[in-house]
Amino acid sequence: MNWLFALFGVLGGVAIGVQASINGGLGKKIGAIEGSLVSFAIGTVVLLLLFIFFGKGQILSVGSVPKWQLTGGLLGAFYIFISILIVPKIGVATSLITVIVGQVAMGTLIDHFGLFGGRQIPVDWQRVLAIVLLCAALYFFYRD
């Protein structure tokens, strides 16, 4: 694996950790749905500016993509809402562990079956063990 991609992944994880904490506080002050809306609105404005000044893609081709590929925004909004809802109740670290368990479990299924046009990567005992260990980590983070 290219170390630069791994570094980008770690930086993305750091951003999600900071985002969860910030959004959790926002949701506590103004409400979970309202916090989700504000968070997404600010992100949308930033992406619009990036698109205007740096975009080189084919935005007008969006009408020709399979409709299921447009659900990413819906799933992103769902994630932000869930994050804002649970962080104040169970904390940032536990919230992130729950999300990671879900991501890795679903990612393993997607890879195994090659869903959504991805490369097929069969489940093996090491991947199953990794998920079990993540669940153990969740248990240790969540227990009182």
What is the 3 state secondary structure string of the chain?
Answer: CCHHHHHHHHHHHHHHHHHHHHHHHHHHHHCHHHHHHHHHHHHHHHHHHHHHHHCCCCHHHHHHCCHHHHHHHHHHHHHHHHHHHHHHHHCHHHHHHHHHHHHHHHHHHHHHHCHHHCCCCCCCHHHHHHHHHHHHHHHHHHCC
Q: How far is CA 137 from the centre of its chain?
A: 19
- Whether 62 is covered by a domain: the verdict is no
Structure pTM?
0.83
Phi/psi at 56 (nearest 5 deg)? -135, 10
Which of 4, 114, 16 lies closest to 24 in space, CA to CA? 16
Task: State pLDDT tens for residues 5-44.
Answer: 888 888 888 899 999 999 999 999 999 999 999 999 999 9
- Whether 13 is covered by a domain: the verdict is no
- Whether 11 is covered by a domain: the verdict is no
Gap between the Cα atoms of 91 and 142, Å rounded: 9
Say what the pLDDT of residue 1 is: 58
Structural domain span for residue 26: 20-56+70-89
Task: State pLDDT tens for residues 37-46.
Answer: 999 999 999 9
Percent of the chain with pLDDT over 70: 99
Are 39 and 80 spatial neighbours (Cβ–Cβ below 8 Å)?
A: yes
Verify that 82 and 38 share a domain, yes or no: yes
Verify that 46 and 79 share a domain, yes or no: yes
Verify that 28 and 85 share a domain, yes or no: yes
Verify that 78 and 97 share a domain, yes or no: no
The mean predicted confidence, pLDDT, of the chain is 92
Verify that 26 and 83 share a domain, yes or no: yes
- Whether 7 is covered by a domain: the verdict is no
Verify that 37 and 82 share a domain, yes or no: yes
Task: State pLDDT tens for residues 122-132.
Answer: 999 999 999 99
- Whether 51 is covered by a domain: the verdict is yes
- Whether 64 is covered by a domain: the verdict is no
Verify that 103 and 82 share a domain, yes or no: no
Verify that 100 and 84 share a domain, yes or no: no
Tally the domains of the chain.
2
